[in-house]
Structure 1
Amino acid sequence: MASQTQGIQQLLQAEKKAAEKVAEARKRKAKRLKQAKEEATQEIEKFRSEREAAFREYEQRHMGSRDDVAVRIENETRARLDAMNKSVAAAKDKVIADLLERVICDVKPQLHKNLRLNKA
């Protein structure tokens, strides 16, 4: 009976060692996954920064800086506003005269053509 107890003890110890090895393997796996995730994140950030730098270079080469674009838009807007103001100043008197002509009507009172007067 002592040999059975000893055999059971050995099985329990073997089972305990196996459980420890499985737990250790799970920890190593989790550690490797965490490390792989960190490496992937670093690679993504590196790739993103490279692509952003390339885009900024492309933008600078083809469009100029954003300040240049803003200045160009400001100049175009100012030129358009000046042209509109000149157009308004040139046509202002004519438009006012036309409006006054249409608003001020010379009303000539006359009887309606269908009116019948009874002569009694």
Structure 2
Amino acid sequence: MEANRSQNGIQLLLAAEQEAQHIVNGARTAKTARLKQAKEEAEKEIAEFRAQMEKEFQKKVAESSGDSGANVKRLEQETEAKIQHLKVEAARISNDVVQMLLRHVTTVKN
């Protein structure tokens, strides 16, 4: 009877060990599946982010180089406006400058 009880205890331990092994294997499989799923999700997010950054980059490139004619025209207009402003200012004060120069040139100091 004692041998039968001992044999029964060993069988229970072996069964518990096998059940534990199944649980561990199931956990490993679930972990591997979750890691694979997480990797796929991360790759998808990376691809979306890369596409978004590429789109923004292409937009900036198009703004800076593709629209070059408009930029040149805008710069020419700004330059012309500044030149006209300087001409107006020069014409406005040129008489005063001439008078000041004449006064200094014709004044004799001892």
Normalising by structure 1, report the TM-score: 0.56
Cα distance in 2, alignment partners of residues 22 and 73 from structure 1 = 71
User: Among 19, 22, 25, which residue is 1:14 paired with?
Assistant: 22
Gaps of 5+ in 2: 1-7, 100-110
Distance, in Å, in 2 between the alignment partners of 1:69 and 1:40 is: 41
| Cα drift, residue 43 of structure 1 | 0.4
Counterpart for residue 61 of structure 2: 53
TM-score, normalised to structure 2, is: 0.59
Structure 1 unaligned regions, length at least 5: 93-120
In structure 2, what is the equivalent of residue 100 of structure 1?
Answer: none
> How many angstroms does 1:12 deviate by?
0.3
Residues 1:34 and 2:42 are matched in the alignment: yes
Shift of the 53–20 alpha-carbon distance from structure 1 to 2, 3 Å rule, reads same
What is the aligned partner in structure 1 of residue 13 from structure 2?
5
Q: Which has the larger radius of gyration?
A: 1
Superposed CA RMSD: 2.7
Q: For residues 65 and 14 of structure 1, do their structure 2 counterparts lie closer, same or farther at Cα, with a shift above 3 Å needed?
A: farther
Whose helix proportion is higher, 1 or 2?
A: 2
> Which residue is equivalent to 1:43?
51
Q: 1:5 to 1:48 in 2, by over 3 A?
A: same
Residue 62 of structure 1 pairs with residue 83 of structure 2: no
